[in-house]
Amino acid sequence: MSTIDPTQPQPATDNTVVPAAPAPAPLAPQQAFRPMVQPEFKSIGTMWLLWFFLGGVSAHEFYMGRIGIAFLRLFTAQYLGVGLIIDLFLNTARVRRYNEQVSLLTGVASPTAVMIKA
């Protein structure tokens, strides 16, 4: 004698298959791309402190979440020192751009937004 598993589809008498459970409803667009962890704004001051004291080991790149670039720079000695000079000009813009992306994602105003008065 065989046992019937209630979670599996069972054949009906007219050779059609009855589904075991209804399919889940599709996610709404705003739910489909919602991250599991809310990203946080980054601080320009923290970025500059990490660059100044721990720039040689790419701590500022790790802080910004640029893990691939951080390891590349770590293993190439910051592009032989050129990477640190490039960061001197680009760090503030990178933090502002990151914070603007977080602002668009979360709907919270960016603390590093540049206000332009008309």
Q: Is the pTM of this model over 0.75?
A: no
pLDDT at 62: 95
Is 4 a domain residue? no
Residue 68 domain-assigned? yes
Q: Print the domain residue range for 72.
A: 44-106
Q: Is 19 a member of any domain?
A: no
**Measured between alpha carbons, how far is 7 from 13 in angstroms, rounded to an integer?**
18
In this prediction, residue 11 carries a pLDDT of 60
The angle, 0 to 180 degrees and rounded to 10, between the axes of the packed helices 44-54 and 82-106 is 150
- Residue that the structure tokens 């320009």 belong to: 44
pLDDT of amino acid 90: 95
Average pLDDT for 33-39? 66
Copy the structure tokens of residue 2.
Answer: 């065989």
Q: What is the pLDDT of residues 64-96, one digit of tens each?
A: 999 999 999 999 988 888 899 999 999 999 999
Average pLDDT over residues 105-109: 84
Q: How many domains is the chain partitioned into structurally?
A: 1
Instruction: Return the higher-pLDDT residue of 73 and 32.
Output: 73
Of 15 and 61, the structure prediction assigns the larger pLDDT to 61
Q: Is residue 3 part of a domain?
A: no
Listed residue (105, 112, 118) closest to 39, CA to CA: 105
Tell me, yes or no, whether 29 lies in a domain.
no
Any domain includes 10:
no
Q: The tokens of 39 are what?
A: 């990203």
Residue 74 covered by a domain: yes
Tokens of 26: 């599709």
Residue 38 maps to a domain:
no
